[in-house]
Amino acid sequence: MPNSVDETMTASLGYLSSLFVFVIGLAVLVIVVIFIIDVTQTADAVRRNYPVVGRFRSLFTSLGEFFRQYFFAMDREEMPFNRAERDWIGRASKGRDNTVAFGSTKLLNVPGTAIFVNCPFPTLDEDAVEIQPLKIGPYCRKPYDAPSFFNISAMSYGALSTPAVRALSAGAKMAGCWMNTGEGGLSPYHLEGGADIVFQIGTAKYGVRDAQGNLSDAKLKEVAAHDQVKMFELKLSQGAKPGKGGILPAVKVTPEIARIRGIPVGHDSISPNRHPEINDIGSLLDMINHIRAVTGKPVGFKAVLGSYGWLRSLAEEIHRRGIESAPDFITVDSGDGGTGAAPMPLMDNVGLVIRESLPLVVDILTEYGLRQRMKVIATGKLVTPAEVAWALATGADFANSARGFMFSLGCIQSLKCNRNTCPTGITTHNERLQKGLNPQNKSVKVANFCKNLVHEVEVISHSCGVARPRLLKRKHVRIVQTNGISVAMDELYPRPDVPPQYPAEQVA
């Protein structure tokens, strides 16, 4: 028996030794092959000068995103959204206690920081006023009474996956907010959750275009026939890529997406830089009024502000034509807005951020007596209660968020939106990766995020002594200056006077 055991052990050791030698030999062979490839290629100087070892540079660069996010970045350091913001959204979407302990980790003396001015006698809960629907489009055949001041911003089906759109639609219905389709057209998944829908018309007219890419009245009527479609938004520009149309890589243009958009399968979906038929203020108003006449529903436009003199020209032309000719709303996007794919020079360097552009828009509309007629929607990195409360105090009627709702779906900010490899299934059409996103479960988190954000904006407003969030004014906010001292926002942006030729009763 001992001899048998010894023989078995000897055989096993012999096998393991042979396997070890084979593995070592294979590893050496692989290294030699890689060495030869590296020293003979001419595309990468580092790999040519440092064969094999030079490959670790790319590996460590790729892993850097992971290690910075999870091990090295402080709670308030990351971009575009830091860990503190993402964690707040995570807790809100799960319906968990969102209190924190010990003290704030936010630096409160950084220039530009908004500080809300609490009053000595806050609003009691029993004195708070329920949020009332706000009417958009009073001159339309079918105006929209929008129930929520916080809503889902434009994200296209195509940029988002099927389960993500399903979850957002059902979650929006539960929360009582609207959902913007983005420029990718109306899919069955937008409708199946029962949410109110804002249909966005991008520069390529996806979903409402004819074979030549022109706006089709027949398809406009077809979309408007859905009772869930409450408004139409004409997209002039987007914060992450002003002056550049939408970009959907070919790998994400599936047969279904191609059918909904009216484009070829498997080709990059590139929208024009602007609407070819809109060349000036007059043609912009013509287009808005045409869509409103065809659909009978409110129509506005979305733009990221750069130059802003054209807004005065727009206001003057509205008064020449009559107040009913005005857009029903304007969506002000931020120069630091997000997207699935954009050129870096545009994303980093073009367009005013919402902190600067929103007061400008509100003040120009007020100056021309149009503030009541045209509702203002703010969007772009507004994902926390403080940011939304700031937008309302500045003069916005609504605040929209896209990436905030992506975080509620489980986004981990892996920055893979344009590669069809999103690890959470939100921005990929890879069915294996989509399995990680359960629409029934995630829709509840979408609704929780919306409801909890609205609730905490109410908490801020009550602290400032007003009964509901839309009563927040610029006097309730102070902005920290470079010397570390804050200044009242209504001093930085005083309310403009309304000239006599414009009806003052239209001012909000």
The residue that leads in pLDDT, 78 or 215, is 215
- CATH superfamily placement of domain 125-506: Aldolase class I (3.20.20.70)
Q: Can you read off the two tokens belonging to residue 171?
A: 């979650």
Please give the pLDDT value at position 65. Answer: 61
Cα gap 179→370, rounded to integer Å: 26
Residue 507: pLDDT band with limits 50, 70, 90: very low
- Cα 463 to Cα 120, 141, 395, distances in angstroms: 9, 40, 19
* Least trusted range by pLDDT, from 254-268, 363-377, 434-448: 254-268
Only one residue has tokens 């007059």, namely 282
Query: What pLDDT score was predicted for residue 508?
Result: 40
On the question of pLDDT at 72 being above 70, the answer is no
Question: Any idea where the domains of the chain sit in the sequence?
Answer: 2-72, 125-506
Residue 357 host element (H or E): helix 354-367
Q: Is the pLDDT of residue 194 over 70?
A: yes
* Residue 319: both structure tokens together: 């008064």
- Any idea what the Cα angle at residue 318 is, between residues 316 and 324, rounded to 5°? 155
Q: What is the pLDDT of residue 153?
A: 95
State the amino acid at position 99 in one-letter form: T
Confidence at 457, pLDDT banded by 50, 70, 90:
very high
Choice between 5 and 45, residue whose per-residue pLDDT is larger = 45
φ/ψ of 415, rounded to 5, equals 60, 40
pLDDT digits (tens, 9 = 90+) for 288-310: 999 999 999 999 999 999 888 99
Can the peptide bond before residue 80 be classed as cis, meaning omega within 30 degrees of 0? Answer: yes
Question: How far is the C-alpha of 336 from the C-alpha of 383, rounded, in Å?
Answer: 13
pLDDT in tens, 486-497: 999 999 998 887
The segment with the largest mean pLDDT, out of 77-86, 93-102, 403-412, is 403-412
**Which of these, 487, 481, 458, lies nearest to 470 by C-alpha position?**
458
Give the mean model confidence (pLDDT) for residues 443-470. 95
DSSP letter for each residue of 415-442: S-TTTT--TTSSS---HHHHTT--HHHH
Question: What string of H, E and C letters represents the secondary structure of 58-70?
Answer: HHHHHHHHHHHHH
State how beta strands 247-248 and 178-180 pair: unpaired
